[in-house]
Amino acid sequence: MSVLQNIHPSAILMKGVVLEGDITIGENSYIGAGTVLVANGGKIEIGKNTVIMENAVIRSSRSFDCRIGDHVLVGPKASITGSQIADACFIATNGTIFHGSTLETGTVLAVNGIIHIDTHCPENTFIPINHIGFGKPARVYSPAEIPDFHAELRKTGFVKYVYGIDTQGLSNPEVYQQMTEKFLSNLKETQS
């Protein structure tokens, strides 16, 4: 994979940080030990004065760039894929943000919270501990409302949205086979 990295000299990258692909890190930002940033065909941009704590995973893909603004705090073990995060947001420990999501300024994702695919969080959105944000605008689903969330997610279609694969009429093994083949095919294209 070609390495196109623009790391500001004042940025602090701790031991064990993994950087792969087209990555920009702004001034005075901190990337904690064990953090993984992988741009698979897309870009990752991290603004200035942003803190990415230990063992976070930040990813992009050919279809979903990832941008994290200025003064954002991303907690340990958070996972962010192909999302647009505005300035001054807080992503707590184990927070997960999926492809195509947009978080406006002041959004808070609490511990173990999830912001799912293609979700828009208006300014100052709050997703509580163990809750899911999904939709445009984000609706907050409690753990007791997971069946309702899954019903809404099925309408969007995770595999179609993320991988561009129509799963209608396919068995689970066929879906997973196509997902892995699509991922590997895209990866090979970005490495050539």
Q: Assign residue 133 the CATH number of its domain.
A: 2.160.10.10
Q: Within this chain, do residues 93 and 173 fall inside the same structural domain, yes or no?
A: no
pLDDT at 23: 97
Q: Within this chain, do residues 99 and 130 fall inside the same structural domain, yes or no?
A: yes
pLDDT at 183: 84
Q: Within this chain, do residues 103 and 125 fall inside the same structural domain, yes or no?
A: yes
Q: Within this chain, do residues 72 and 39 fall inside the same structural domain, yes or no?
A: yes
Q: Within this chain, do residues 17 and 108 fall inside the same structural domain, yes or no?
A: yes
Give the domain range for residue 171: 158-191
Q: Within this chain, do residues 62 and 78 fall inside the same structural domain, yes or no?
A: yes
How many domains are contained in the chain?
2
Q: Within this chain, do residues 172 and 148 fall inside the same structural domain, yes or no?
A: no
Strands (E), the chain: 5-7, 12-13, 18-25, 30-31, 36-46, 51-52, 57-61, 66-68, 73-74, 79-81, 84-85, 90-91, 96-97, 102-103, 108-109, 114-115, 120-121, 126-127, 132-134, 139-141
Q: Within this chain, do residues 131 and 165 fall inside the same structural domain, yes or no?
A: no
pTM of the predicted model, to two decimals? 0.92
Q: Within this chain, do residues 100 and 168 fall inside the same structural domain, yes or no?
A: no
pLDDT in tens, the chain (192 residues): 445 789 999 999 999 999 999 999 999 999 999 999 999 889 999 999 999 999 999 999 989 999 999 999 999 999 999 999 999 999 999 999 999 999 999 999 999 999 999 999 999 999 999 999 999 999 999 999 999 999 999 999 898 999 888 888 999 999 999 889 988 887 777 776
Q: Within this chain, do residues 147 and 173 fall inside the same structural domain, yes or no?
A: no
pLDDT at 49: 98
